Amino acid sequence: MSEIVGTVQGHRDGHGFVHPDEGDTTVWLSPQEMRAVLHRDRVRVRIVRFDRKGRPEGQVLDILERRKTPIIGRLLHEGGVWLVAPEDRRFGRDILIPAKATGHAEPGQVVAVELTEPPSLNAQPVGRVTEVLGGIDDPGMEIEIAVRKYEVPHRFGDDVLAQAAKLPEKVRPADKRGRIDISDVPLVTIDGEDARDFDDAVYCEPARIGRGKVPNGWRLIVAIADVSHYVKPGEPLDREAYERATSVYFPRRVIPMLPEKLSNGLCSLNPEVERLSMVCDMLVTAEGEIHAYQFFPAVIRSHARLTYTEVAAILGNTRGPEALRRAELVPQLLHLHEVYRVLLKARGTRGAVDFETTETQIVCDENGRIAKIVPRTRTEAHRLIEEAMLAANVCSADFILRAKHPSLYRVHEGPTPEKRTILKNYLKALGLGLSLGEEPRPGDFQAIAEATKDRPDATQIHTMLLRSMQQAIYTPVNSGHFGLAYEAYTHFTSPIRRYPDLLVHRVIKALLGRDRYGLKLPPVQSSTGNFKRKGGQGAVTRGLPVAPVKGARIKLPPEEAMAWETAGIHCSANERRADEASRDVEAWLKCMFMRERLGEEYGGTVSAATSFGLFVQLDGLYVEGLVHITELGGEYYRFDEARQELRGERSGVRYGVGARVRVQVSRVDLDARKIDFRLVREDAGQSGRPGAGGAAGGRNSRKPRTSEAAWAGERSAQDELADIQEMDRQARRGAKAARGAAAERAGTAAGARGGKAAGKKTPARKGSRSRR
């Protein structure tokens, strides 16, 4: 049988998988095979058999490389033995700690462990405590765990800090050489109230396009902090920025890509100070088309630091207190709003997908715990800045594409054939009369969204449309952005927090100087996208979409082509890592939040249906948990993939995305970051939604429907199931009574005839009882 080299990914249930370095064949490892390896080890396996579905099962032949990073877990003292239970359940096994290797940690504390003896078939792994992080309930502990669990670099090296310390405090005359001074242009920054780094500033004024004598368009200027002036290839700052690839955002804390002196100082477009920037200067027509653009390095001075709330208030009332306070800026804010409106119109014309989704924001108290979770309101100010940044990103992609220079594009492809089939079957099952072709366009998705936006199940339909699309990635192969309906798109507007943007700045600068940027990747200590291939360092990351095969490929020397491909995969993988770490922290905080609400009941909406249960999001709290399929009632539920719902085989009760339910918080597992709910049962005769009438009375008691229960006037699935069960009971009682009466009549008749069978029992006929 064939042999495969790859990386082990453990599973919390004890088994594991090997993701090969080359190819897509994932190999399953039994719990017995996993006893000698750990999550993230590199191994060579032999495929020994295939299961009924043709999936390969492997046997570990050799362990090529052991993971070297510390393992995070809680120190326990059980039966006189010290051990650490890993925070990441994919490790599957506890780590034994000798009594003299506990590092003076107390039982229950969170620690970092270095392995001293690897696991084997007959022995647990052994390690020593290298760092004591603190108590499990200490403020900020969830972030300390996450950055180590996901191996997020969170400490700058001494050489990086030393280089940052040598940077000037302000822009020097030598830094201005070769730049256009536009410090008199009243550029402004518009960000959130809690933002600390400002990497973009905007300005807009009416402009004449063509030979007309009156303004018939707008001049839109987007100025972006020139990080590339201070972060040079080959220097410690560049190596650290590449290794991190992105800033990581947690509630109340940010792990920045660059040291604070750059991110909040020299490269932040703070008000009323000179800053170096790269400018995208555009002419936008009345139809929202970019008529012309130019890039140039500049010196700017932000004239104001505005917030989204403030700008939204000014646009909503130009005579209000906010507008009076910023009277000199009101005209250009109105011009910004005008150009935003035409850009938005052009977005609709080209068929870009635009779903309105509810984003939430966690508000923490002084101890770092959740005080409340609130919806993040998107105002006209948010959309205004978004459209301005999209325009600058499109111009940067077009500029690089026309020059035929290698770079990193932000690529978002349409649905895969498998996801397209699922979506087509779903739309067909709903009977909407809407369908997708073999090569769907963004406009097709937007048309479906528009046609269904007023339906009761609009949320469910839009969720399915979103889930059918692929993840966006960074790649040197341009194949367009499906969601935004752009033929070419890249990231130019956030070089403070994204390394791909920094690379794009370097490419544009090289092109402006009629030069060429030769990418040489800095060495990194660790990367989620690195692996060994044919004696060298290549890159691949499991779980990421593959690089597109369609699109124009620029002919490059093999070494340079590999560098750009590796950079794209590295940046995409680290973006995923940052998202996973952020979600892990949010899940921790939500578990802590709900741990104090065990037993409480809430209304909620089904956000996803799976073969093992329903995910429900609670009203007002914006917390999601699982109602396991065993909590849905005493019958078998089948998952309907086409309709994305669970359906009871006997009763026909259905649960799909968007269904309203009432649940009780039944269990919170902090270690697994999971919250479990159970459906609240109503009295059998009660109408309305589950749990609406408070505590249940007698089983057959009837209670009037309350206003709290009247969700859209629908009957709940649980009520329908209860009614069906009651009818079943009545039918069985009726059948039993009928059989008894029949037996009595038969006995009486037999006695009257004096037959021998008078004393015999009348057997029930086969099939007289309905099959359940």
The tens digit of pLDDT for each residue in 356-399 reads 667 788 888 887 888 888 888 889 999 999 999 999 999 999 99
Q: Is the pLDDT score of 244 beyond 60?
A: yes
What's the pLDDT at 339? 97
Which of 85-94, 243-252, 552-561, 703-712 comes out lowest in average pLDDT?
A: 703-712
Are residues 397 and 617 in contact, defined by beta-carbon separation less than 8 angstroms?
no
Q: Is the pLDDT score of 92 beyond 50?
A: yes
What's the pLDDT at 733? 59
* Buried b / exposed e along 608-632 (16+ C-beta atoms within 10 A): bbeeebbbbbbeebbbbbbbebebb
Q: What's the whole-number mean pLDDT along residues 79-85? A: 93
- Both structure tokens of 45: 């396996």
Q: Which has the higher per-residue pLDDT, 239 or 375?
A: 239
Instruction: Please classify residue 771 by burial: count the beta carbons closer than 10 Å to its beta carbon, then call 0-12 exposed, 13-18 middle and 19+ buried.
Output: exposed
Residue 298 neighbours by CB distance under 10 Å: 22
**Model pLDDT for residues 589-607, shown as the tens digit of each residue:** 999 999 999 999 999 999 8
How far, in Å, are 41, 145, 364, 365 from residue 371 at the CA level? 40, 21, 5, 5
For 61, half-sphere exposure in the C-beta direction (CA atoms, 13 angstrom radius) is 13
Q: Is the pLDDT score of 677 beyond 50?
A: yes
Q: Which helix (H) or strand (E) holds 461?
A: helix 458-467
Percent of the chain with pLDDT over 70: 84
Which residues are bridge partners to 110 per DSSP?
74, 134
**Model pLDDT for residues 494-526, shown as the tens digit of each residue:** 999 999 999 999 999 999 999 999 999 888 765
**Packing angle, helices 308-316 and 330-350, rounded to 10:** 90
Determine if residue 755 is left, alpha or beta; phi over 0 gives left, psi from -120 to 50 gives alpha, anything else beta: beta
Q: Which has the higher per-residue pLDDT, 420 or 734?
A: 420
Strand 188-191 relative to strand 304-307, pairing: parallel
The model carries a pTM of 0.82
How far, in Å, CA of 658 to CA of 457, rounded? 6
What's the pLDDT at 758? 38
**Model pLDDT for residues 742-754, shown as the tens digit of each residue:** 555 444 444 444 4
Looking at residue 189, what DSSP letter applies? E
Q: Which helix (H) or strand (E) holds 383?
A: helix 380-403
With CA atoms as reference, report the closest residue to 548 among 484, 470, 486: 470
What's the pLDDT at 325? 94
What's the pLDDT at 377? 82
What's the pLDDT at 735? 55
Q: What's the whole-number mean pLDDT along residues 38-66? A: 89
Mean pLDDT of the chain: 83
With CA atoms as reference, report the closest residue to 483 among 453, 442, 446: 442
Are residues 191 and 198 in contact, defined by beta-carbon separation less than 8 angstroms?
yes
Terminal C-alpha separation, the chain: 47
How far, in Å, CA of 322 to CA of 164, rounded? 38
Determine if residue 767 is left, alpha or beta; phi over 0 gives left, psi from -120 to 50 gives alpha, anything else beta: left
When computed from its CA atoms, the radius of gyration of the chain, rounded to whole angstroms, is: 32
With CA atoms as reference, report the closest residue to 532 among 152, 3, 5, 68: 5
Q: Which residues contact 702 (CB under 8 A, 6 or more apart)?
A: 683, 685, 686
What's the pLDDT at 84? 95
Label residue 741 by pLDDT band (50, 70, 90).
low
For 529, half-sphere exposure in the C-beta direction (CA atoms, 13 angstrom radius) is 28
**Model pLDDT for residues 264-284, shown as the tens digit of each residue:** 999 999 999 999 999 999 999
Q: Is the pLDDT score of 538 beyond 80?
A: no
Residue owning tokens 């993971």: 67
